Amino acid sequence: MNDIFLKACRGERVPHTPVWIMRQAGRYLKQYQQVRKTVDFLTLCKTPELAAKVTIQPIDALGVDAAILFSDILIPVEAMGLGLKFSEKIGPQFSNPVRDSAGLKKLRIPDPENDLGFVMETIRILRRELAGRVPLIGFAGAPFTTSTYMIEGGTSKNFLNTKRMMFQNPKLYAAIMDKITQALTEYLKGQIAAGAQALQLFDSWGGALSPADFKIYALPYVKEIIKNLRKWQIQEKKQPVPIIYFVGECAGVLEDIKDSGADVAGIDWRISIDAAIKRLGSKISVQGNLDPCALFLPKEKIQERVKDVLTKAKGARGHIFNLGHGILPETPVESAVAVVEAVHKYSGGK
Ligand code: CP3
């Protein structure tokens, strides 16, 4: 069993730095494109055998130390009652965004097994098929990032509708966030029960908030999820699963990430990892943080950048190597392989 990733999350000693890549199952892989030729993205997410198959593709192709469930942060949102569509050009779109109390009233708290059983089944298949080869990470969007999709109705540049609601109708925003928090807590409990061995909360757009607003509108809900998951795991006498909290453009809020209760802080590339570690302290591991565009450098330069991150992360309680955000669809697969090989080689491993 390769449990190096789980050990690094907990800050235990490891023979080499573990590595995985955000969005490691995706369009930069020919094998993924082959599968996508036959089904659309949502069908892929909802067909457990296929979702499991594409989850394993990067384990075979890259040799990463963890698998991440193939799904999307918008899948539980669809189950809350928002009609979801994905189009090649525009990206995700919800037909009925939540903008008022009538929208709030219609939101459902999905039951993981009844409403999102395909995700739970994918996890069960994966645990069987991975058979201890690498641990399986489950995930959800963090409440703030999830709320932006629900309120904007899709991807956004400045999150005007979301922030306008926060500032003009804070009670409505808080009530929506409470619903999201409840729904995501149940969803993540379901993932743990099905076999997820670690969880990542994606707050990809967290850096769009001022640090003061992050404390009010993002952090408390993340804390609530983590606290409730821990309480439930103790009640159920389950081994605690490590929780990674990733925030895009995190530099303004590192102290809050440290206080979130997460085991690992996932950081983007806009801050040097040694500077981040100083502010995060010794009670939390760190994950990151190579610029995804560094994978467009020649191989030797990629290796240098990997070494640089590894050297700067030496003071961390634990380090999981990753990119600072998702791998881009245009990335040459050889570059992703070069990153994984360099991490293993230069961190003292095989
Ligand atoms: O990391 C993995 O390999 C697991 C799968 C995964 C996907 N999305 C698959 C996906 C994960 C963890 C996500 C998370 C996700 N989804 C986030 C947070 C991480 C981040 O990148 O910030 C966000 C914001 C989304 C929402 C989302 N999904 C958008 C905006 C888009 C369209 C843009 C795009 O990249 O195409 C998606 C689609 C999506 N999710 C694809 C994949 C592989 C591409 C779909 C396709 O095959 O056409």
Question: What digits encode the pLDDT tens for the residues 109-125?
Answer: 999 999 999 999 999 99
pLDDT in tens, 283-331: 999 999 999 999 999 999 999 999 999 999 999 999 999 999 999 999 9
Q: Which atom of ligand 1 is nearest to the CA of 329?
A: 35
Position 228, amino acid:
N
Q: Whose CA is nearest to atom 32 of ligand 1?
A: 91
Task: Look up residue 260 and give its DSSP letter.
Answer: T
How close is the Cα of 335 to the center of ligand 1, in Å? 20
How close is the Cα of 320 to the center of ligand 1, in Å? 21
Confidence grade of residue 350 (pLDDT, cut at 50, 70, 90): very low
Beta pairing, strands 264-266 & 243-247: parallel
Position 153, amino acid:
G
How close is the Cα of 314 to the center of ligand 1, in Å? 30
Backbone CA torsion sign across 272, 277, 279, 284: positive
Compute the residue count for the chain.
350
Tell me if residue 149 is catalytic.
Answer: yes
Catalytic residue selected from 10, 27, 124, 133: 27
Please give the biggest Cα pair distance in the chain.
Answer: 58
Three-point CA angle 223, 228, 232, nearest 5°: 155
3-state secondary structure of 108: coil
Can you give the pLDDT at residue 100? 97
Q: Which atom of ligand 1 is nearest to the CA of 248?
A: 22
Tell me if residue 40 is catalytic.
Answer: no
Residues 223-238 have a mean pLDDT of 96
Q: Whose CA is nearest to atom 41 of ligand 1?
A: 26
Can you give the pLDDT at residue 1? 82
Whether the per-residue pLDDT at 349 is higher than 90: the answer is no
How close is the Cα of 326 to the center of ligand 1, in Å? 8
Domain span at 33: 4-346
How close is the Cα of 305 to the center of ligand 1, in Å? 25
Tell me if residue 28 is catalytic.
Answer: no
pLDDT, the chain, mean: 97
pLDDT in tens, 142-185: 999 999 999 999 999 999 999 999 999 999 999 999 999 999 99
pLDDT in tens, 46-90: 999 999 999 999 999 999 999 999 999 999 999 999 999 999 889
User: Could you tell me which residues come within 8 angstroms of residue 195 by beta carbon, excluding any fewer than 6 positions away?
Assistant: 123, 124, 126, 127, 136
Q: Whose CA is nearest to atom 21 of ligand 1?
A: 326
How far is residue 61's CA from residue 333's CA, in Å, rounded to a whole number?
9
CATH of the domain at 123: 3.20.20.210
Catalytic residue selected from 3, 65, 99, 149: 149
How far is residue 323's CA from residue 126's CA, in Å, rounded to a whole number?
24
- Provide the token pair at 145: 């990032």
Ligand 1 site residues, Cβ closer than 6 angstroms: 22-27, 36, 41, 68, 70, 72-74, 91-92, 139, 155, 202, 204, 326
Residues 238-250 have a mean pLDDT of 96
Catalytic residue selected from 32, 65, 72, 108: 72
Can you give the pLDDT at residue 50? 98
Q: Which residue has the tokens 């003292």?
A: 348
pLDDT in tens, 15-50: 999 999 999 999 999 999 999 999 999 999 999 999
**Could you tell me if 280 and 286 are in contact, meaning their C-beta atoms sit under 8 angstroms apart?**
yes
The number of domains in the chain is: 1
How far is residue 214's CA from residue 230's CA, in Å, rounded to a whole number?
23
Task: Look up residue 65 and give its DSSP letter.
Answer: S
Whether the per-residue pLDDT at 218 is higher than 80: the answer is yes
How far is residue 178's CA from residue 166's CA, in Å, rounded to a whole number?
13
How close is the Cα of 26 to the center of ligand 1, in Å? 8
